């Protein structure tokens, strides 16, 4: 019986020692990141995640600053009550917190979609 040596293609192991076959998906990703097209994909992913983070952060800040502005600019609004509770507490609990939770859920969903698009472009399974 003769011995056969199985190795990865030379493009994956240049300048490195061969890695076990279990890490082949990681090798493919690293090889994609090292190529010019792979670097473009990585930069595109970073830009899209940064853009998404900035949009969510700006939306949060807009809500955060609109709340005290609305209470300060509308006369008598801060003094009114709904079912015995101060209006500003009702607005905070039933209006702003659910919007923040929805924004967080949409952010996670969009970030996962961005990463899935990157994996598709990079050729990962």
Q: Are 78 and 71 in contact (CB under 8 A)?
A: yes
Tens digits of residue pLDDT in 50-97: 999 999 999 988 988 888 898 888 888 888 899 999 888 888 888 888
Q: Which of 20-24, 44-48, 91-95 has the lowest mean pLDDT?
A: 20-24
The answer to whether the CB of 102 falls within 8 A of the CB of 56 is: no
Which among 10, 9, 26 is positioned nearest to 125, based on CA atoms?
26
pTM for the structure as a whole:
0.61
Q: Is 17 left (phi over 0), alpha (psi -120 to 50) or beta?
A: beta
| pLDDT for the residue 20 | 47
Domain boundaries, the chain: 55-125
Contact 42, 33 (CB under 8 A): yes
Distance (Å, rounded) from C-alpha 110 to C-alpha 44?
15
| Least confident range of 36-40, 56-60, 63-67, 108-112 | 36-40
């Amino acid at each position: 019986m003769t011995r056969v040596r199985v190795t990865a293609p030379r493009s994956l192991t240049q300048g490195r020692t061969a890695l076990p076959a279990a890490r082949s998906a990681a090798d493919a990703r690293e090889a994609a990141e090292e190529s010019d097209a792979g670097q473009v994909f990585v930069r595109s992913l970073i830009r899209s995640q940064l853009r998404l983070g900035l949009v969510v952060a700006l939306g949060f800040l807009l809500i955060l600053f609109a709340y005290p502005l609305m209470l300060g600019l509308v006369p008598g609004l801060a003094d009114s009550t709904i079912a015995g509770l101060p209006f500003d507490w009702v607005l905070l609990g039933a209006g702003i917190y659910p919007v923040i939770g929805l924004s967080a859920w949409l952010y996670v969903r969009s970030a996962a979609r961005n990463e899935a698009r990157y994996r598709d472009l990079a050729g990962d399974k």
